[in-house]
Amino acid sequence: MDREWNVMFEQDERVKQRRELICKLLSDDIYVPMKEKELAVFMQVPGEEREEFRRILRSLVSEGRVQVTGQGKYIKPQDNRPTGIYYGTARGFGFVEVEGREEDLYIPEDKRGGAFHQDRVQVELLSGGHGRRTEACVVRILERGTKQVVGTYEQCENFGFVIPDNSKIGTDIFVSRERSKGAVTGHKVVVELTSYGDDRHKPEGRVSEILGHINDPGVDIMSVVRRFELPMEFGEKVLKQADRVPDHVKEADRNGRTDLRELQMVTIDGEDAKDLDDAVSLYLDEDGQYRLGVHIADVSNYVQENSALDWEALKRGTSVYLVDRVIPMLPHKLSNGICSLNEGVERLALSCLMTISARGEVTDYQIVESLIRVDRRMSYTSVKKILEDKDEAERRQYEDFVPMFELMEELAAVLRKKRHKRGSIDFDFAESKIVLDQEGRPLDIRPYERNVATKIIEDFMLIANETVAQHFFWLDLPFVYRTHEKPDQDKIMKLSAFIRNFGYSVKMSGDEIHPKELQKLLGRIADTEEETLISRLTLRSLKQARYTVECSGHFGLACQYYCHFTSPIRRYPDLQIHRIIKDQLRGRLQEERIAHYAGRLPEVAKHSSKMERRAEEAERETDKLKKAEYMEDHIGEVYDGVICGITQWGIYVELPNTVEGLIHVSVLSGDFFYYNEESYEMTGRDTGKTYKLGERIKVQVKSVDRLIGTVDLMIPEMSEQT
């Protein structure tokens, strides 16, 4: 692990204090702007610490907490010069995302100031704006965010160009012949940027890796892997540590654990799952209360803090589930071996043992280090056959477990009812599974079915996560919570105004809305023509969930305490809080250890949220590529779709198989169409024809570009006219 990575997460107290002292000094009314050397003398920085002081100043400038004048003097940031991340678009303009600011800033093409996609920049706010957005111009590039680009190589006579896969990079990359590494037209390449260009010159780069030809199997997915800089291989040091991990539970590790090996328990997962990190048990006690056990693999026993394994897991943040592969957070030796709760073998676990009343209330609980042995490895399909289909053969095969499964179905319904009563929101949008052949070509797109078995596991994991989060909140110890903040008032007001057109309303208390109101809304629109439309707009009105050290509640689940405890094999925050839980259980959370976690956890939460976003984007991108490739064999076919998005450049339509395509505004008709952002409508100036979000529409597949994952659609009657 490189030195910068360690520094980022383990800055000592002296560095932290000096950073805060600099910011405090620059904000003082009596401060006179100084250069670096003057600041160092004023703050009495010893000579041997001057280089560290220089790095601190640079990092504060990069973060936007400090500014440098043209004379090289350090000052506090000006109010009208915020900093943020620049995101480009294919059309030349861009946006800057400023932390803590609700709306992004619009950057016109001629105000980019040389900014490249994902650069950290400083901007100056301008008067006027683009629509309702505040307009700004880039005045300083603080840090380059894109170091390499993945794209398709095009050969010219004496040079070449790389056309980026990412459409947000709205320009080709110039590559001289001697820097092409022998690439030819059609090669997918990784190009390292050597120049970011300017108003008169294109960016330049050198080819560092040739991934293969665009038509070679697997090259499309590997291009996404490289584009998002997903780490495929584990380093030698990490693998050596993994190899030293035992393949069975050692006698020393049993000491002090609660022995639950005689408790009947199962895992319930998909048929192809290999990393089984959660098991469940359930029975009724003598008082008729449910005794639910959620048993999670004790990964922290084998991944020690600050080990090479730990740093690698932290760096990755999460496992990434692409359409044709899984990029794991931990080596398979752990995730599929000693940390997987395989049938019939002893395993170490952290168990949340809950006593739950008939009304779904957790009346008592214990969180313990345990020794377990799973009796059966069950699949969602098998449990569904037992409970929903009443399949006689399946029930006979698992007859010893059928009573427990029936009890699980009963308890899950109780927990779901309680959650629904308090206002938990459940969006039930269609999900899909893409079936590939051995060459990676898509054979089918099938709906992903939520059934009784998937709901049982979901309900049990939710109650365990809530119980653990509440326990540590009241202990007032450093912790990582899963937070879903309340939606912005402006977005809810906009949603409220829109749904009034359909005769619906939501109640607000002051400036806020309770999740139960949105839940009621979703209930009222169920099975109506406007269900898809309003459901999508409601979802868009909500914020994204993230990891934080503050317990500010989970709006979507309508609960005050929530964390991620149940998947330490594939999510770093779960692994992190397992360590905190064990330290607390073993009485090791003394002042020094508490201070350690208080300093470490904010960066863990922030980085984990960032890696989660990256994984989600990569997963969506690979799905999009394979869906487009699948539709190549369906050009000319007609589908009944639903309008899922409207922009000024066209209408997005979702097909029944979850593929999304675009009807470009240029193919709608000879009419000129206006986009109404307030009503989510596209209306023709002459014909008066209107297209609305959520409207059902018949479309025909016009063309496909599988290299960038786009599907172009048209309206059938228009194709007949042309």
Residue 113 has pLDDT above 70, yes or no: yes
Stretch (H or E) spanning 611: helix 591-631
My answer on whether 139 and 157 are in the same domain is no
* pLDDT at residue 722 in the model: 45
Residue 394 has pLDDT above 80, yes or no: yes
Residue 348 has pLDDT above 60, yes or no: yes
* Mean pLDDT to the nearest integer, 695-711: 91
Residue 484 has pLDDT above 60, yes or no: yes
Q: Is residue 536 part of a domain?
A: no
Residues 6 or more apart whose Cβ sits within 8 Å of residue 338? 245, 246, 247, 248, 249, 302, 347
Q: Is residue 525 part of a domain?
A: no
Measured CA to CA, the distance from residue 28 to residue 650 in angstroms comes to: 52
Beta bridge partners of 173: 162
Q: What CA dihedral angle connects 567, 573, 576 and 578, to 10 degrees?
A: -40
My answer on whether 593 and 648 are in the same domain is no
Residue 685 has pLDDT above 80, yes or no: no
Stretch (H or E) spanning 465: helix 452-475
Residue 77 has pLDDT above 90, yes or no: no
* Mean pLDDT to the nearest integer, 596-609: 94
Residue 353 has pLDDT above 90, yes or no: yes
- Domain containing 136: what range? 83-143
The band of 211, judged by pLDDT with boundaries at 50, 70 and 90, is: very high
* Mean pLDDT to the nearest integer, 496-523: 86
CB-CB neighbours of 259 under 10 Å: 12
pLDDT tens across 160-202, in order? 999 999 988 988 999 999 999 999 999 999 999 999 987 778 8
Average pLDDT, rounded, for the chain = 90
Measured CA to CA, the distance from residue 416 to residue 71 in angstroms comes to: 63
Q: Is residue 523 part of a domain?
A: no
Residue 720 has pLDDT above 60, yes or no: no
The band of 12, judged by pLDDT with boundaries at 50, 70 and 90, is: low
Residue 680 has pLDDT above 50, yes or no: yes
Beta bridge partners of 642: 654, 696
Residue 204 has pLDDT above 80, yes or no: yes
Scan for tokens 């309008």, then name that residue.
Answer: 643
Specify the number of domains making up the chain.
5
Q: pLDDT > 90: what percent of the chain?
A: 61
* Mean pLDDT to the nearest integer, 214-233: 93
Residue 339 has pLDDT above 90, yes or no: yes
Taking CA atoms, 235 is separated from 109, 118, 190, 241, 313, in Å, by 42, 27, 21, 10, 12
My answer on whether 712 and 646 are in the same domain is yes
* Mean pLDDT to the nearest integer, 27-36: 87
> Domain end: 164, 184, 216, which one?
216
* Mean pLDDT to the nearest integer, 359-380: 97
* Mean pLDDT to the nearest integer, 124-146: 79
Stretch (H or E) spanning 268: strand 266-269
Q: Is residue 530 part of a domain?
A: no
Residues 6 or more apart whose Cβ sits within 8 Å of residue 639? 655, 656, 698, 699, 700, 701
My answer on whether 289 and 373 are in the same domain is yes
Q: Read off the CATH number of the domain in which 191 is found.
A: 2.40.50.700
My answer on whether 45 and 156 are in the same domain is no
My answer on whether 273 and 390 are in the same domain is yes
My answer on whether 340 and 392 are in the same domain is yes
Tokens of 364: 């008592």
The band of 363, judged by pLDDT with boundaries at 50, 70 and 90, is: very high
Higher pLDDT, 366 or 533: 366
My answer on whether 196 and 267 are in the same domain is no
Name the most confidently modeled range: 127-131, 197-201, 314-318.
314-318
> How many CA atoms does the CB half-sphere of 244 hold within 13 Å?
11
Higher pLDDT, 69 or 178: 178
* pLDDT at residue 670 in the model: 60
pLDDT tens across 416-460, in order? 999 999 999 987 776 788 999 988 999 999 888 789 999 999 999
Q: Is residue 24 part of a domain?
A: yes
> How many CA atoms does the CB half-sphere of 613 hold within 13 Å?
9
My answer on whether 611 and 646 are in the same domain is no
* Mean pLDDT to the nearest integer, 68-75: 83
My answer on whether 443 and 586 are in the same domain is yes
Residue 80 has pLDDT above 90, yes or no: no
* Mean pLDDT to the nearest integer, 346-350: 97
Q: Is residue 232 part of a domain?
A: no
My answer on whether 182 and 284 are in the same domain is no
* pLDDT at residue 441 in the model: 93
Scan for tokens 């689940």, then name that residue.
Answer: 557
Higher pLDDT, 20 or 268: 268
* pLDDT at residue 633 in the model: 94
Residues 6 or more apart whose Cβ sits within 8 Å of residue 127? 135
Q: Is residue 591 part of a domain?
A: yes
* pLDDT at residue 427 in the model: 78
> Domain end: 75, 98, 130, which one?
75
Scan for tokens 């770093």, then name that residue.
Answer: 572
My answer on whether 387 and 440 are in the same domain is yes
Residue 206 has pLDDT above 80, yes or no: yes
Q: pLDDT > 70: what percent of the chain?
A: 95
